[in-house]
Every structure is written in structure tokens, then in C-alpha cells.
Amino acid sequence: MSIPGLGQLAPTAAPIAAAASSTASAPTTTQTLEPYWEYRFEVPHGSTLTIKLLAGTAEKDGTELAPNTPYAFTATKSKINTWHGCTLEITAPSSGTYDAYTSEPTCDETPMVSYLNLHFKLESLRAAAQKTAQMGPRVLVVGPPNAGKSSLVRTLASWATRMGRQPLVVNTDSREGMLTLPGTLSAAVFATLIDITTDWGSLPSSGASAIPVKLPLAYYYGLPQSDDNPKLFKRILGRLAIAATSRLAEDVDVKSAGMLIDTGGVPTGARAAAYYDFVAHIVAEFSVNIVVVLGSERVGSEMQKRFAGQTTSVGETVTVVGLDKSGGVMERDEGFMQSIRESAIREYFFGNAKMTLSPFTQQVDFTAVSIWRINEAPSKPAADGGGITYDEGEVQTDVLEKAEPSMMMQNCVLAVACASVHDAPDIIRDANVMGFVYVADVDEKRRRLRILAPVSARLGDRPLLWGSWPEHMVNLLI
């Protein structure tokens, strides 16, 4: 198979056969788990750990494992838990290493019981909302970094879908993408099960998939931290909140299921105050009525002070719930997270081990593209009379700057905005993302760009957004 601009690719039959033979020769062990036990594992990049459920029941982040079905995990730190006991078949990687151990908590010791109790409480609220045609619970999960916030949101979403619900899941952490690339804020309705071999499931792409693909609504922020440009971050949050609440108003199933909102970790030092302001903004914009604090009494105390006696736009009291952090949560260092981001970008353009994609390359003149750079505009410290201010009617054009193509763009990912190059900067800024392109090469002498796109279509009059996140990466074409 040949990809334009990339040359000839090796046939896929040989690698698949080689993988099958290596898997057959890989050592296999059997692991028996008692009720409430957990099998915790860490698989680095380049290694693949295969797990199969032989007997009993088990789940990962709320999604049940199918019996006698092999699941291949790579570049992940996660766990598999069981409520009634199970037997797992573990196939170690034929090359590379992995780390795994069994945790043996009792019913009184595992925090999973408290997570399940929270789910049942949310389910009772959803049932009541369905009877009265009201909005279901809107849940915001906050806590320090590496507390398991995203895992809890995935677990609650998976349990809800198993009950026949269709919750709307919102990601407000631009450092990690949900069903899309990092640098975005996104939302998606989860009505079917999640692919447990990935965090949120496969990125939307062209090709067959055994698991139904979720299509997110994404807005490009392009910066790693919410306080890198507070006005832009709040503006995008407002746009996402309008879209989310509109979906709740128009879809009765989603309305009764409510929302589950994921956030980034609480920073330390002076930046913590700005983070709490963003949390208050999310609570107001999404009409959050339940704030779940995971793994921090200090953050829980701050949330209690901020939301004590506060009500939502529909008159509901804001409730703060504190939960313990799971012992299975593993710290993910920056090097590991950068590898995760690079893997997501590669998957978006080239697919993964289950599905190979053929991206399209095209040569584009500098004059044929309209690129807008997202600027950093951090909030001023309190000593300078700063803080975070926001006027809903204010048109902020200073967050975007028209950019000339240059070598700085090489190996960068650009977001394709659902707007026209003739639109005003504020319209381009507020537009949702259609997709992404990758700048493979910049020829300043000939004034041409070599762009990699997931589909064979010209960019047309779509403006491109260029931010500092995700960061520059290695050449995809090597």
C-alpha cells in the first residue's frame, strides 16, 4: 500500500503473523482474585500486556470484561477490579517489561464501595428527574493531580450506560483530550460501552470499529494551563456550556442522565486561587449541583466554603461530596504523559494496531492558508490589581493573532476551525473544531507547506488555529 508522499508501506499480513507468533510464545500465567480485590498493572510504551477473563466477573473503570476475550494493554497504568471474584489469564509481553501486583482490600477498605454508593445516589436522582422531566444531576469532579479524577468520571459514565442512561461527559482539562487530541475542551454523549484498552475509547476516525465510536464536540484552547489565558479559557467554557445545556434541553434521555464533568488537577501555590475561580465558573456555567472532591480534605474544605448555601440557576442546592483516593492510582510523570500525547496524534493520522489509516498529504502555498496564533495572556497577580475578570459582552480579539507560516510550525498540529477565513477573529475564536492537520514540512524558500490530513480534501477557506499545546513532537513521517 502506498501513501502519497510517504512511499511504500510494508504489507500488514507479515506484522500480524509475527505478532501472533510472538504472542503464542509469550509466557502466560493465571491470576485468581477474591471479591473486592484488584489487579493493578503498569505497561510502558513498547510493551503489550494481554488479559483474558476466564471465570467470574471483572471490570475496568466500570466496563465489564467479556469472558474469554483477550484485551491488549499498552502504554497505560490502570487496574481491573472484581466484586464477586474472578480468574484472569495474564500473557506477558514477549519483548519489553511490565509491572503488576494484586491488591487485596476488604469491603470496608476499598473506596470502590463509596464510588458505587455515589452511582446509586446519582441513579436515584436520574430516575426522579425522568419522572418529572427535569434535568438529571450535573456532577463536577475536582481534586489534586494523580487522584483518579478521570478514572472516576469514566467509571460513573460506564455504570450509567450499563443502566441504560446516556450521560453527557465533559472534559475541561486541555492537557488531556477526551475522544480528541490534547489542547481541546470537549463534550460527548456516552450511550454505549467504552473500549477498555484505551482511556476514553478510540479517536473518531474513518474505518470499522468493534466499539461504537463517540463523536465529541470540541473547542480548541491550544494552551496547557487554564490560567495561561483566563479570558479565552472562560470564553470557550461558556461556548461548551451553551452547547451542553442545549443538548440536555433537546434530548430527553440525555436530560435525565445529566452531566459528568472532568477537571485538571488543583495546582499548588499562588495558582490555586485562580483554579478555584475556574471551578466556580464551571459550576455557574454548567449549573453544577454536585461537586465531588477526590482525595483531598483541603480541597474539600475550600469547596465547602465557596459553595455553602449556593444554589444553581434552577434553584437547586450545590452539594459537596468528599471521596477517598483509590490506592490503585499511579503517578504519571511528564515523560509518560508526553508519550501518551504523541501516541494520540499518531493514532489520529495513522490508526493503531487494530486499524491502519492512510493519511493524505498535500502541498499548500503560504497564501492559501489562514493561520491564527493563540496567545498566552496569564492573569496578573493580586499585588498588581489583577485576577481574573471577564465581560460576557466583550469582544476579545487580542487572544488571536494572524500568523505567517514559518519553520516554527514544523511538526506542529493545527486545529481546523468550523468557520470561514472571511469571518471576524472573535467568530473564529469561538468556532468548534472540525479536525486537525499536521505540518510535516515548511519550505520558506518556495513558500509552501506540506500538510498531513486524515482525509483527502482541500482545506478550502477554513482557518487554522495554532497553539503551544500539544507541544512540538518528533516527525510523524520518520
User: Residue for cell digits 492510582?
Assistant: 329
Q: Which of 145, 142, 220 is nearest to 185 (CA)?
A: 220
Task: State whether residue 138 is helix, strand or coil.
Answer: strand
Residues 157, 163, 167, 171: what is their CA dihedral angle, to the nearest 10 degrees?
Answer: 0
Q: Which of 345, 158, 170, 309 is nearest to 241 (CA)?
A: 170
**What is the distance between the alpha carbons of residues 95 and 454, in angstroms, rounded to a whole number?**
31
325 is in an annotated binding site: no
149 is in an annotated binding site: yes
Cis peptide before 230 (omega within 30 of 0): no
First to last CA, the chain: 17
**CA-only gyration radius of the chain, Å:** 23
**What is the distance between the alpha carbons of residues 69 and 193, in angstroms, rounded to a whole number?**
15
CA-to-CA dists, residue 448 to 135, 362, 369, 413, 475, angstroms: 51, 10, 10, 17, 18
Task: State whether residue 228 is helix, strand or coil.
Answer: helix
77 is in an annotated binding site: yes
DSSP state string for 159-180: HHHHTT--PEEEE--TTS-SSS
Q: Where are the beta strands (DSSP E) in 259-315?
A: 259-262, 290-294
334 is in an annotated binding site: no
38 is in an annotated binding site: yes
Phi-psi region of 175 (alpha: psi -120 to 50; beta: other; left: phi over 0): alpha
Tally of CB atoms within 10 A around 356: 13
Report yes or no: 461 and 422 within 8 Å, Cβ to Cβ. Answer: yes
Q: Which of 111, 185, 109, 187 is nearest to 155 (CA)?
A: 111
Q: Which of 465, 439, 436, 470 is nearest to 373 (CA)?
A: 465
**What is the distance between the alpha carbons of residues 81 and 70, in angstroms, rounded to a whole number?**
16
475 is in an annotated binding site: no
148 is in an annotated binding site: yes
50: which 3 cell numbers?
A: 494481554
Which segments are annotated as binding site?
38, 77, 146-151
Question: Residues forming the annotated binding site for ATP?
Answer: 38, 77, 146-151
